[in-house]
């Protein structure tokens, strides 16, 4: 059906006439604005935890814009890459600023995304009906890690080169296909010009396209089911209070209320972001490692090779998997299978399947080198996040109404994650190895035992309406 043109008064303002002209010729854009902004009702009790989603979108835009300007002068050539970065820093007008904004933006992206995911964990934003929103979000996190890793190689400094060498060689630990897979990723027998060109192509074109598609899917899925809130109460459900027009009484239009809310968050973020860019762009060697200001030298290995801080919790888990640790993991698998077979109320067929899977898993763990299982654990630490909607069996969503001791479990999880991140930066030692092994067991125990511990205790009564506390 053809779109009907809307008439406007001849006495209307110039702005109204221009808006009407565009709306008559591009109604889809205006409909999208109404659906996702002015007529999208969000819970009225959002707190500061809800600014990190919009901040993630802001940082994505910053990274794309600064990346475009960097590509104008960067040369993806092993012989010229480091010099091209130096040229950007020293000779391109404002090049140093663009480069520092981009490098700081990479770390800022992960800070914002980690806080955004933690908010989802606190308030149960992954629970029904938002499982798909969470899955898209975890896929964004995976794509972001791939994008950051590939971008990390591009400056072609010492840590870029040797960090990529270590991480790519991990794929060689995969049985049967590992060596060929590592060769395919590198494009050569060592990290070199072919690797740089591959990573440049993926960093600039392929992964950003996937990332943008996932961000759009994440937002559309969110707006289809509606936003969660700190109380975990559905404001648009069949029993939720609504006015005569069907609008939720516990909601407010996203625009202008939460656009202003987010603008405040953006101002605070840009203040802190600018302080880092102008006064501490290396951030003590965590955002830009000092070894990366030295050109890549395949003949000189740095004394300690570690990835950037946002990968270090997972790198720490990788290093925690030693031959000794494998026996602990085998014991964990045996105990879990024993509980499933002898203590659970599962059907006999399922119990038999659990026993068979456990035996096969233990046999593989004994037969295959610990290095491979370290890679599995590192990847599993991210993949397990996808299963979170089905692991949490608590009768309430929000941490506000769960038993108080749940808060301590979450607090210990956060501290454990930070400690793992710190240990991933430090050179390996026997003491740090033991701590990282305990931390790895707690990280996976937090998720794998969640179906059990999330049901323990008596939850507090959940109110019928959202509770609003101005801040």
pTM of the model: 0.92
Q: What average pLDDT does this structure show over 89-103? A: 95
- At residue 403, the pLDDT reads 94
pLDDT of 72 over the 90 cut: yes
- At residue 470, the pLDDT reads 59
Instruction: Flag the least confident range among 100-109, 325-334, 442-451.
Output: 325-334
User: What sign does the dihedral 49-384-208-290 (CA atoms) show?
Assistant: positive
Binding site for a ubiquinone: which residues?
Answer: 223
DSSP for 378-391 reads: HHHHHHGGGGHHHH
Would you say residue 212 lies in a domain? yes
Would you say residue 28 lies in a domain? no
- At residue 390, the pLDDT reads 94
pLDDT tens digits for range 298-354: 888 888 888 889 999 999 999 999 988 999 999 988 888 888 777 777 787 887 888
Same domain flag for 266 and 338 = no
Look-up: residue for tokens 């980690």? 114
pLDDT tens digits for range 396-422: 999 999 999 999 999 999 999 999 999
pLDDT tens digits for range 276-305: 999 999 998 888 888 889 998 888 888 888
Which own/partner contact pairs does 164-168 have at CB distance under 8 Å and 24+ positions apart?
Answer: 164/191, 164/195, 164/199, 165/190, 165/191, 166/305, 167/307, 168/195
Range of the structural domain that residue 257 is part of: 33-288
pLDDT of 5 over the 80 cut: no
Would you say residue 369 lies in a domain? yes
Name 42's bridge partners: 252
Q: What average pLDDT does this structure show over 146-154? A: 92
pLDDT of 243 over the 90 cut: no
Binding site: which residues?
Answer: 102, 116, 203, 218, 223
pLDDT tens digits for range 51-64: 999 999 999 999 99
Query: Residues 121, 411: contact at Cβ < 8 Å?
Result: no
% of the chain with per-residue pLDDT over 90: 57
Distance CA 282, CA 305 (A): 17
- At residue 25, the pLDDT reads 81
Could you tell me which of 203, 253, 194, 226 has the C-alpha nearest to residue 64?
203
pLDDT of 469 over the 80 cut: no
Q: Torsion angle of alpha carbons 113, 142, 183, 64, nearest 10°?
A: -60
Same domain flag for 228 and 128 = yes
- At residue 10, the pLDDT reads 82
Q: What average pLDDT does this structure show over 188-201? A: 91
- At residue 86, the pLDDT reads 95
- At residue 90, the pLDDT reads 95
Would you say residue 3 lies in a domain? no
Same domain flag for 112 and 240 = yes
**Residue 152 CB neighbour total at 10 angstroms:** 23
- At residue 80, the pLDDT reads 93
Same domain flag for 259 and 355 = no
Same domain flag for 172 and 320 = no
Distance CA 312, CA 106 (A): 15
Would you say residue 54 lies in a domain? yes
Would you say residue 19 lies in a domain? no
- At residue 247, the pLDDT reads 84
Distance CA 218, CA 226 (A): 12
Which own/partner contact pairs does 127-130 have at CB distance under 8 Å and 24+ positions apart?
Answer: 127/228, 127/232, 127/389, 127/392, 127/397, 128/389, 129/225, 130/221, 130/222, 130/225, 130/228, 130/389
Could you tell me which of 149, 156, 16 has the C-alpha nearest to residue 76?
156
pLDDT of 368 over the 80 cut: yes
Structure tokens at 38: 């002015």
pLDDT tens digits for range 170-185: 888 888 888 899 999 8
Query: Residues 113, 138: contact at Cβ < 8 Å?
Result: no
Same domain flag for 388 and 435 = yes
Query: Residues 443, 417: contact at Cβ < 8 Å?
Result: yes
pLDDT of 430 over the 80 cut: yes
Would you say residue 370 lies in a domain? yes
Distance CA 448, CA 159 (A): 35
pLDDT-derived band at 270, boundaries 50, 70, 90: very high
- At residue 268, the pLDDT reads 96
CATH, residue 107: 1.20.810.10
Same domain flag for 375 and 417 = yes
Q: What average pLDDT does this structure show over 186-203? A: 91
pLDDT-derived band at 104, boundaries 50, 70, 90: very high
The average confidence (pLDDT) of the chain is 90
Same domain flag for 353 and 256 = no
Query: Residues 27, 451: contact at Cβ < 8 Å?
Result: no
Query: Residues 112, 55: contact at Cβ < 8 Å?
Result: yes
- At residue 118, the pLDDT reads 96
- At residue 421, the pLDDT reads 94
pLDDT-derived band at 2, boundaries 50, 70, 90: low
Q: 25-47 burial by CB neighbour count: b if 16+ within 10 A, else e?
A: eeeeeeeeeeeeeeebbbbbbbe
Same domain flag for 151 and 68 = yes
Would you say residue 299 lies in a domain? no
- At residue 409, the pLDDT reads 96
Binding site for heme b: which residues?
Answer: 102, 116, 203, 218
- At residue 346, the pLDDT reads 72
Same domain flag for 343 and 278 = no
Same domain flag for 233 and 361 = no
Q: Could you give phi then psi for residue 248, rounded to 5 degrees?
A: -65, 130
User: Looking at the 3D structure of the chain, how many domains does it have?
Assistant: 2
pLDDT of 471 over the 60 cut: no
Same domain flag for 278 and 320 = no
């Amino acid at each position: 059906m053809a779109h009907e043109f809307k008439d406007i008064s001849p006495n209307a303002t110039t702005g109204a006439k221009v808006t009407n002209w565009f709306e008559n010729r591009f109604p889809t854009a205006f409909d999208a604005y109404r659906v996702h902004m002015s007529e999208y009702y969000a819970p009225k009790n959002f707190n500061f935890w809800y600014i990190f989603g919009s901040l993630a979108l802001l940082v994505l835009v910053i990274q794309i814009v600064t990346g475009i300007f960097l590509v104008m002068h960067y040369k993806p050539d092993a012989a010229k890459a480091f010099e091209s970065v130096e040229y950007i820093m020293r000779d391109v007008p404002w090049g140093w600023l663009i480069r520092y904004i981009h490098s700081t933006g990479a770390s800022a992206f992960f800070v914002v995304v980690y806080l955004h995911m933690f908010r989802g964990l606190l308030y149960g934003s992954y629970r029904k009906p938002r499982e798909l929103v969470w899955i898209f979000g975890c896929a964004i996190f995976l794509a972001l890690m791939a994008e950051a890793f590939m971008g990390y190689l591009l400056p072609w400094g010492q840590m870029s080169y040797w960090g990529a060498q270590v991480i790519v060689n991990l794929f060689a630990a995969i049985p049967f296909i590992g060596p060929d897979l590592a060769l395919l990723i590198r494009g050569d027998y060592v990290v070199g010009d072919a690797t740089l060109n591959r990573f440049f192509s993926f960093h600039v074109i392929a992964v950003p396209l996937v990332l943008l598609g996932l961000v759009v899917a994440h937002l559309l899925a969110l707006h289809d089911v509606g936003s969660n809130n700190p109380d975990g109460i559905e404001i648009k459900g069949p029993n939720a209070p609504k006015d005569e027009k069907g609008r939720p009484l516990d909601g407010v239009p996203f625009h202008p209320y939460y656009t202003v809310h987010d603008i405040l968050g953006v101002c605070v973020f840009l203040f802190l972001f600018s302080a880092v860019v102008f006064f501490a762009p290396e951030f003590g060697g965590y955002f830009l490692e000092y070894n990366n200001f030295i050109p890549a030298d395949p003949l000189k290995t740095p004394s300690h090779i570690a990835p950037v801080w946002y990968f270090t919790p997972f790198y720490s888990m990788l290093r925690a998997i030693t031959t000794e640790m494998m026996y602990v993991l085998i014991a964990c698998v045996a105990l879990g299978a024993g509980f499933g077979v002898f203590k659970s109320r599962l059907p006999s067929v399922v119990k038999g399947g659990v026993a068979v899977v456990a035996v096969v898993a233990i046999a593989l763990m004994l037969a295959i080198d610990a290095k491979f299982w370290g890679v599995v654990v590192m990847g599993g630490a991210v993949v397990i996040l996808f299963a979170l909607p089905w692991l949490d069996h608590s009768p309430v969503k929000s941490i506000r109404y769960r038993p108080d001791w749940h808060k301590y479990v979450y607090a210990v999880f956060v501290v454990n994650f930070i400690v793992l991140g710190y240990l991933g930066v430090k050179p390996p030692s026997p003491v740090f190895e033991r701590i990282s092994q305990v931390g790895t067991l707690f990280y996976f125990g937090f998720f794998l035992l969640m179906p059990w511990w999330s049901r323990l205790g008596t939850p507090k009564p959940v109110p019928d309406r959202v509770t609003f506390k101005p801040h």
